[in-house]
Amino acid sequence: MCRHLGWLGDPVSVAALMLDPPSGLLVQSYAPRRQKHGLMNADGWGVGFYADTDEAGVVPRRWRSAAPLWGDVSFASVAPVLRSRCVVAAVRSASAGMPIEASASAPFTDGAWLLSHNGLVDTAVLPPARHAESTNDSALLAALIFDRGLDALGATIAAVAADDPNARLNILAANGSRLLATTWGDTLSLLRRPDGVVLASEPYDDDPAWQEIPDRHLVDVVDMHVTLTPLKGP
């Protein structure tokens, strides 16, 4: 129901990840190539990143909107000068009945973490969560994951899937020095570049180095090292 992207590596501009690639998130907002559910992602967008010069420490900074990414000229003018070693970005296709508001757009945050959800989950199976940023399924799921801790991400996803067998639970999370992701019902691709690692719902170009991550896996990226772990569930 969405498309998302994560970066970990040398500092790059947000525009180089989201706007400049021929099939980047900008294009995926109106013409995704591998999206299985929905035709476009026009119900909002968001980006979170970490500033190397931030005196407050590892604090994620966010820019989110309920409008389509293609219509935000202010972001397009600023994105080339926003640079970071770690980025999480997403464009949104809202699930039926869910609110369309900036606070419902990923990435969500708790402490140092940023988190995006690509998929769908029945909110009735989610326990009451503290500090949810919105009432949509992705925000409630993010709050549950934050409550249980990112080190338990795989177990949390398997437990939610057991309660909702139709759920699609692709998660992408980062804390400035680590990328975590799950594949559960939707696509995820990996690109190892000389300057860093990209995880994305779908490739943003036709580079043959893109690798598809198998379904029901946990991906952990630290210091350019990528670990894949199968997820067990129903």
Q: What is the mean pLDDT of residues 147-176?
A: 97
Query: Does residue 86 have an active-site annotation?
Result: no
pTM: 0.95
**Structural domain of residue 31, as residue ranges?**
2-230
Q: How confident is the model over 43-95, as pLDDT tens digits? A: 999 999 998 765 555 789 999 999 999 999 999 999 999 999 999 999 999 87
> Based on the structure, what is the number of domains in the chain?
1
pLDDT digits (tens, 9 = 90+) for 92-134: 998 778 889 999 999 999 999 999 999 999 999 998 877 899 9
CATH number (domain holding residue 166): 3.60.20.10
The DSSP result for the chain, as a single string, is -EEEEEEEEEEEEHHHHHTSSTTSHHHHTT--SS-SS-S---S-EEEEE--TT-TT-S--EEEEESS-GGG-HHHHHHGGG-EEEEEEEEEE-PPTT---SGGGSSPEEETTEEEEEEEE--GGGSPP-TT-SSSSHHHHHHHHHHHH-GGGHHHHHHHHHHH-TT-EEEEEEE-SS-EEEEESSS--EEEEETTEEEEESS-SS--TT-EEPPSSEEEEEETTEEEEEEPP--
Confidence of residue 206 (pLDDT cuts 50, 70, 90): very high
